[in-house]
A and B are shown apart, each in its own frame.
Chain A
Amino acid sequence: MKRLLSLMLVLMSVLPAFAHKHYISIANMAYNASAKQIEVSLQVTAHDFEHILENHFKKRIEIETVSDSSEVGRFMIAYLNKNIQLKSANNSAKFNYVGKEVNVRDQLFFYFTFTEVLDPSHIILENSILFQLFSKQQNIAHYKFKEATKSITCTSQSPVADIKF
């Protein structure tokens, strides 16, 4: 079995690139000391994210028409929760979904917070959004703590990043 797996690794195929030239998400994160939470706006390419939903529900889905409380909406929130994990001092922070918006530039923004962050000056972020579909996807995060900002990039080869101030 081990041999078979390693063979498949080598043969792993990708979608052709031209259909999706973007492959990038950007999370702007900031620690809000008074609310004791990390506040996040996550920008992804809307039609890329729609592929995740369409793949699961096997139908055409327009994100504009997805309400957060619908079946698709609940799947979407669970997907975010599962694929964006934040740990601090060996403790998983709590993911709290706030909302989303989409614009005509094909940009989809998700808003959420992390609470129960034990040490906001040192976090471990795992962001595997869209890796399931696009091996070239890069998930960038800019984290602002006090006055400083540090940036990291999660890729499918290394989806976990350590940010320490």
Chain B
Amino acid sequence: MLRKMKSIIGVLLVVLLANTAFGQDNNKFKQLKEELATPNVYRTASGAPGHGYYQQKADYQIKVTLNDDKQTIDGEETIMYTNNSPDQLSYLWLQLDQNMRAKDSDTKLISTGDIGSLSYKGSLQRYLSNANFDGGFKIASVTDASGNNLAHTINNTMMRVDLPKVLMPKGKTTLKIKWSYNINNRAEIGGRSGLEYFEEEDNYLYTIAQFFPRMCVYNDVEGWQNKQFLGNGEFTLPFGDYIVDITVPADHIVSATGVLTNAKNVLTAEQNKRLNAVTDESPSFIVTPEEAAEAEKQKATGTKTWRFEAKNVRDFAFASSRKFIWDAQLVKQETKNVLAMSFYPKEGNPLWERYSTRLVVQTLKTYSKHTFDYPYPVAISVHTDRIGMEYPMICFNGGRPNADGTYSERTKYGMHSVIIHEVGHNYFPMIINSDERQWTWMDEGLNTFLQYLTEQEWQRDYPSRRGPAHLIVDYMKGDKTNIAPIMTNSESLLQFGNNAYGKPATALNILRETIMGRELFDFAFKTYAQRWMFKHPTPADFFRTMEDASGVDLDWFWRGWFMTTDHVDIALTNVAHFQINSMNADKEVAFNEKVAKETPQNISAIRNKAAIKETENERTPSLNDQYIGQDPNALSDREKAKNEKILASLSDKEKALLSKGYEFYQLDFDNVGGLVMPIILEFTFEDNTTELIRIPAEIWRRNNYSVSKMFVFEKVVKSIQLDPYIETADVDTGNNSWPAKVIPSRFSIFKEYNYGY
């Protein structure tokens, strides 16, 4: 519908913004002063560590024995704990994560479900396996350096050790602990670590983690990290140096956090030679498939002890099996070289020998570009069935081909993605050591975002599951009773995968592509990574750094995307077309005629034209007065006089504008979903050229729910598309077009494609 503006230019060029009264307290652009902790000497307002920032240090010497015949772990450790805090500590807290599998664990007590779910085939068996497993740490002793018993109290998955003497700031203390536990079969009762049993040849593959009592984090934010391990909220631990001796059957191959320092004692001369000859060109075997096939045929009787040393890590894990094939490739970085390695049983092939180590290499390349050079000497991907779990330098990954060596495309991409994801965790949270027990999104979300970037650099148009905005839409739209904001504690999250992985990863990608742009985003993200490398950041440190380093106020974005369950649905509700009154009588008459032609006529008028052959007035022209026969599109004398008066008041420049023939459009937008977002518009003109206009989210700053905006073109607009590159996660694309488009349902597309109706 074309309309004429009767007002003059000066008024027209003002951008119209609805300016209704709006309570400042509820404004979506309100700053986050109340939500974020007050900056202090430990953590600054810029998001960087403050001048008083400190962190504790826990160094470990561990001796652990893996008993293959009983599937148990025996261990003893010496922990040297350094108190870098300004506080006096009278007790220490340790994590006993294995106790989650103890018969009386809280995890078992607090899980809910009804009896009906037991009636399903297989579920009763799993339930009983879980209930009957004798899991959890058996703590044999807790002593000081000289062997004197220390008073300790076990509270589920945590243990408090009371110190005989207060540990002063800058002081050190030593603990010695002995323990054992039964290793869980992951296929029967699950677990982040455990064993996989190969029935045919009676062999085990162990992926061992959370296997020793570990120091809790003590810091300025939490004090002692005192949240129990219930199963979802993973870990955060202080950094430290580890020396670990792992005793296993003599025919086992062991892979672990850190550098193998006694390779000469545990590998054959040939294998040692291969280990020293690894190049950066392609992966090469250290243990060949033939050697692994030979090893799994019988069982050795003796044992061997493998020694690993790791510096500045927050945890330690290892894998052990006589089935392992081992390959490696060198990654050359500016600051140091890294060995990318894979350990897998033959059941992983052909996928694993072909892709695993190369995926580790790609992950290090992409992640380092966005953060810092990978600082550890090794990065390892270990294969066991149906898992994806990360530890420093080492991770355990699923992705198994069928028994005949075939595999589906989905299995292949699943394996690729899980390796990239778990190796990526080396950066978040192993090095940028956020607290997963509190905030799953800080490592899973940031990691899933970089996983997406890595996948796209690995293979063009890689079918990433998370990252692009449109893939999160189905989660964010609709019923909100069963979803929670991203800023929710790990144990209370609903829809874990979408909440802590998908939505934050998508939000970061939207910041990068749409809100900040790649250059500003990449610099700020890298700044965060480098500021908090080998430290313990909180959400506020991330939010503040992203703003501080980019010069973009993102409080509205954190507030909407991270603290609410709102979704994006911006509707283009109305398009009005205007032209300027040219003050030229001929042009205006022509315009009026055009409008009259385009204006629809009512059905009676159309039918009467034919049905009424002659009216009384037409039969008797003498009835006409001055009003009859006048051109309805002509200007009245009053209009002419007004135009002349306006014309006389205009400057020459303003007069020149009148004859340019500008087309004016007023577009009205509603914010239906609640999240304020940029308005991205693609205009297509009558000559089929297009113009893209990106309006920042701040257009909503005064009215969060409804805005109008004027656009001026020299051409007539044929159509308008809101969010043309599906980059805002708008859940309803049905209200994004002018003229309106009908979006077909997935059902109708499937049916048309398969049945052609």
* Cβ contact within 8 Å between A106 and B408: no
In the complex, chain A residues 111-165 whose Cβ is within 8 Å of any chain B Cβ: 111, 131-133, 135-136, 138, 140, 142, 149, 151-153, 155-157
* Cβ contact within 8 Å between A135 and B190: no
Point out the residues of chain B lying under 8 angstroms from A149, CB to CB: 478
In the complex, chain A residues 17-49 whose Cβ is within 8 Å of any chain B Cβ: 17-19, 21-24, 26, 28, 30, 39-41, 43, 46-47
* Cβ contact within 8 Å between A156 and B113: yes
Secondary structure dominating the interface of A:
mixed
Q: Which of B18-26, B47-55, B124-132, B702-710 contacts A (4 or more CB under 8 A)?
A: B124-132
**Nearest-neighbor residue (CB-CB) of A153 within chain B:** B482
Contact of B113 among A12, A30, A41 (CB under 8 A): A12
**Nearest-neighbor residue (CB-CB) of B390 within chain A:** A18
Point out the residues of chain B lying under 8 angstroms from A17, CB to CB: 231-232, 496
In the complex, chain B residues 491-531 whose Cβ is within 8 Å of any chain A Cβ: 494-498, 501
Closest CB of chain A to B318's CB: distance in Å? 19
CB-based closest 10 A-B pairs: A151-B478, A132-B120, A151-B479, A12-B113, A21-B497, A16-B190, A55-B122, A153-B482, A41-B746, A39-B747
Point out the residues of chain A lying under 8 angstroms from B411, CB to CB: 62
Point out the residues of chain B lying under 8 angstroms from A136, CB to CB: 496
29 contacts between A and B (CB under 8 A): A8-B115, A10-B109, A11-B109, A13-B130, A14-B111, A16-B231, A18-B389, A22-B497, A23-B497, A24-B498, A26-B475, A30-B747, A39-B745, A47-B414, A55-B120, A56-B122, A64-B410, A98-B747, A99-B754, A103-B463, A104-B410, A105-B413, A105-B465, A106-B465, A131-B117, A135-B112, A140-B479, A149-B478, A157-B112
Closest CB of chain B to A112's CB: distance in Å? 9
Closest CB of chain A to B136's CB: distance in Å? 15
* B346 is an interface residue with CB less than 8 A from chain A: no
Task: Report how far A106 CA is from B130 CA in the complex, Å.
Answer: 28
Point out the residues of chain B lying under 8 angstroms from A41, CB to CB: 745-747, 750
Apart from A17-B231, A155-B482, what 5 extra A-B contacts exist at CB < 8 Å?
Answer: A14-B111, A22-B497, A41-B750, A62-B402, A104-B413
Closest CB of chain B to A25's CB: distance in Å? 10
* B274 is an interface residue with CB less than 8 A from chain A: no
* B281 is an interface residue with CB less than 8 A from chain A: no
Interface residues as binary, B715-757 with A (CB distance below 8 Å gives 1, 0 otherwise): 0000000000000000000000000000001111011001000
Point out the residues of chain B lying under 8 angstroms from A3, CB to CB: none
**Nearest-neighbor residue (CB-CB) of B464 within chain A:** A105
* Cβ contact within 8 Å between A21 and B122: no
Point out the residues of chain B lying under 8 angstroms from A11, CB to CB: 108-109, 131
Q: How many residues of A sit at the interface, in one of the four size bands?
A: 35 or more
Task: Report how far A149 CA is from B495 CA in the complex, Å.
Answer: 22
Residues of chain A touching chain B, judged by Cβ–Cβ distance below 8 Å, are 5, 8-19, 21-24, 26, 28, 30, 39-41, 43, 46-47, 55-56, 60, 62, 64-65, 98-99, 101-106, 109, 111, 131-133, 135-136, 138, 140, 142, 149, 151-153, 155-157
Residues of chain B touching chain A, judged by Cβ–Cβ distance below 8 Å, are 108-109, 111-115, 117-118, 120-123, 126-127, 130-131, 190-192, 231-232, 386-389, 402-403, 408-411, 413-414, 463-465, 474-475, 477-479, 481-482, 494-498, 501, 745-748, 750-751, 754
Closest CB of chain B to A113's CB: distance in Å? 8
* Cβ contact within 8 Å between B495 and A23: yes
* Cβ contact within 8 Å between A64 and B388: no
Closest CB of chain B to A148's CB: distance in Å? 12
Point out the residues of chain B lying under 8 angstroms from A28, CB to CB: 474, 745-747
Are A21 and B474 CB-contacts (below 8 A) given A9-B115, A47-B414, A138-B482? no
Are A152 and B402 CB-contacts (below 8 A) given A30-B747, A106-B465? no
**Nearest-neighbor residue (CB-CB) of B190 within chain A:** A16
Point out the residues of chain A lying under 8 angstroms from B414, CB to CB: 47, 106
Closest CB of chain B to A164's CB: distance in Å? 14
Contact of A140 among B114, B131, B482, B745 (CB under 8 A): B482
Point out the residues of chain A lying under 8 angstroms from B386, CB to CB: 19
Are A21 and B747 CB-contacts (below 8 A) given A12-B117, A104-B413? no
* Cβ contact within 8 Å between A104 and B751: no
**Nearest-neighbor residue (CB-CB) of A13 within chain B:** B130
Task: Report how far A8 CA is from B124 CA in the complex, Å.
Answer: 11
Contact of B111 among A102, A135, A138, A142 (CB under 8 A): A135
* Cβ contact within 8 Å between B190 and A104: no
Are A13 and B754 CB-contacts (below 8 A) given A18-B192, A60-B402? no
Point out the residues of chain B lying under 8 angstroms from A103, CB to CB: 410, 463
Point out the residues of chain B lying under 8 angstroms from A104, CB to CB: 409-410, 413, 463
* Cβ contact within 8 Å between A101 and B479: no
**Nearest-neighbor residue (CB-CB) of B495 within chain A:** A24
Point out the residues of chain A lying under 8 angstroms from B111, CB to CB: 12-14, 135
**Nearest-neighbor residue (CB-CB) of B191 within chain A:** A16
**Nearest-neighbor residue (CB-CB) of B462 within chain A:** A104
Closest CB of chain B to A85's CB: distance in Å? 15
* Cβ contact within 8 Å between A39 and B482: no
Are A152 and B479 CB-contacts (below 8 A) given A12-B117, A18-B388, A62-B408? yes
**Nearest-neighbor residue (CB-CB) of B111 within chain A:** A14
Contact of A43 among B108, B474, B495, B754 (CB under 8 A): B474
Point out the residues of chain A lying under 8 angstroms from B494, CB to CB: 138
* Cβ contact within 8 Å between A98 and B120: no
Task: Report how far A101 CA is from B497 CA in the complex, Å.
Answer: 22
* Cβ contact within 8 Å between A98 and B750: yes
Task: Report how far A98 CA is from B498 CA in the complex, Å.
Answer: 28
* Cβ contact within 8 Å between B746 and A12: no
Task: Report how far A151 CA is from B113 CA in the complex, Å.
Answer: 24
* Cβ contact within 8 Å between A153 and B754: no
Task: Report how far A111 CA is from B389 CA in the complex, Å.
Answer: 34
Point out the residues of chain A lying under 8 angstroms from B402, CB to CB: 60, 62
Point out the residues of chain B lying under 8 angstroms from A14, CB to CB: 111, 113, 231
